[in-house]
Amino acid sequence: MADYRALWEILGMDLEKHDVLCAVLPELYGDVYLSQQNRPEGMNYYNFVISEVHGLRIQELENHKEEGGKVVGTFCVFVPDELILAAGAIGVGLCGGSQFWIEDGEKVLPRNICPLVKAFVGAKVSGTCPYFQSCDMLVGETTCDGKKKAWEILDEYVPTYVMDLPQMKRDKDYLKWAEEIEDLKAKLEALTGNQITEEKLAAAIKLCNRKRAALKRLYDARKALNVPISGKDALLISQIAFYDNPERFIEMTNKLCDELEERIEMSKGTAAQKAPRLLITGTPMAIPNWKLHHIIEESGATVVCEETCTGTRYFENPVDESQTDMAGMIKAMADRYLHINCACFTPNDGRVEDIIRYAREYGADGVVYYNLQFCHTYNIEYKAVEKALKEAGIPVLFIETDYSNDDTGQLKTRIEAFLEMLK
């Protein structure tokens, strides 16, 4: 319970308003997370990270900045972390997962856009997110329209660099994405004053691959018959991966996986053996958006996998490590990243294939399609996913929602009916 107010003051935060945000976290976290039975001991590390989410990690960013380092904020899994790390900067995934920021977001944005966009803009304009306040530069991308236009607003507050992400996957798009990565490299070098050498980039690629491998190991454990970890705990770990110190995160996640693998051997699960297993697919869930997982798991089912950006899209497919020269490494990164299947692309058949493959790999009894309100690309893509799942004989439920708790009761009823049907 250290006093971090002095630190927040340096960051120019609205202390009073920020306190309102801080006030809800212990209770929310207690209700959603600490009430779980049978939690793995290793979850203590993530309890620690969450408890210090606006404390220790922010102090670490500040210490890094005092030594002349830079902090770079990102919003999408297409932006390569490797370059940020290779430039000696720290990357933070800026979450906009709280209803708290919606009101401030709506002051500068139309109301009928995705809550994720409203929340991250609200977090910045209200000066209540210490991660945003710590950033020397933001890196946006041209994915959906909401985000694309939000960069113009954010740029008024903090320098915002935008990567032009292709929306198709032809050969020329791969070439173009490699060029965009090249440009980001130059931008980061200018920001930090550090040259991104081949050695540094190779080391950063290895580090990010190790992080991906740790997450993959976690997800593999969820394929077990007796799932050794709840879906919301796994989601929390994915969310934390976006801003924690990478080395510490890898070490602690691998330790947790040791425990999970022991549990699997002893057939020690977190839920009842017969609990229905669900795969969630769709839009990202940023901290503290635990809403859907919480409702599902309170209803007696287990979430075994997320085909989302706070799930498989973040860690699947490592960057090829065999490249040693700059051009080769940049191409390897472009290939890995452009392989991600996001609904912003057309066509996006790869995602449908991923969902069906994961449903089988993770032994899912059904799929919940999670759509943040006003996210058009994912919403439209539902039709194709639904059709393919039907053909494969996998039941699916479509949920469109935002961050508020207004529809919790209604969602609970719909999910319970879906689970009933899976029996």
If one asks whether residue 5 binds other proteins (CB under 8 A), the answer comes out as yes
Total residues in contact with ligand SF4, by rule CB under 6 A: 20
Burial (0-12, 13-18, 19+ Cβ within 10 Å), 79: buried
- Indicate the residue among 103 and 247 with the shorter CB distance to ligand SF4: 103
Q: What distance in Å separates the CA atoms of residue 61 and residue 65, rounded to the nearest whole number?
A: 6
CA distance 171 to 345: 14
Options 10, 55, 174, 317; binder of other proteins; rule CB under 8 A: 55
Among 154, 296, 356, 372, binds ligand SF4 (CB under 6 A): 372
Decide if residue 63 touches other proteins (CB under 8 A).
no
Q: Rule CB under 6 A: is residue 295 a binding residue for ligand SF4? A: no
Q: Of these, 56, 153, 326, 384, which contacts other proteins (CB under 8 A)?
A: 56
Compute CA distances 71 → 57, 84, 152, 190, 197, whole Å. Answer: 12, 9, 20, 13, 19
Q: How far is the CB of 143 from ligand SF4 (least distance, A)?
A: 3
Q: Is 34 in the site for other proteins (CB under 8 A)?
A: yes
Q: Which residue number, 40 or 276, has a Cβ lying nearer to other proteins?
A: 40
Residue 232 token pair: 């919301």
Q: What distance in Å separates the CA atoms of residue 130 and residue 153, rounded to the nearest whole number?
A: 19
- The interface partner of residue 52, options being other proteins, ligand SF4, none and the CB cut-off 5 to 8 Å by kind, is other proteins
* Under rule CB under 6 A, residue 78 binds ligand SF4: yes
What's the token pair of residue 346? 């057309």
Contact 310, 243 (CB under 8 A): no
Residue 373 binds other proteins (CB under 8 A) = no
Instruction: State the binding partner of 197 from other proteins, ligand SF4, none, CB within 5 to 8 A by kind.
Output: none
Place of tokens 């304009």: 125
Q: Which residues have CB under 8 Å from 282's CB, separation 6+?
A: 307, 308, 369, 370, 371, 372, 378
Residue 25 CB partners (closer than 8 Å, separation 6+): 50, 53, 288
Give the number of other CB atoms < 10 A from CB of residue 18: 21
Binding residue for other proteins, selected from 48, 179, 339, 413, defined by CB under 8 A: 48
User: Which CB, 31 or 325, lies closer to other proteins?
Assistant: 31
> What residues line the site for other proteins (CB under 8 A)?
1-5, 19, 22-23, 25-27, 29-31, 34-35, 44-45, 47-48, 50-56
> What residues line the site for ligand SF4 (CB under 6 A)?
76-78, 114, 116-117, 143-144, 146-147, 283-284, 309, 340, 342, 344, 372, 375, 377-378
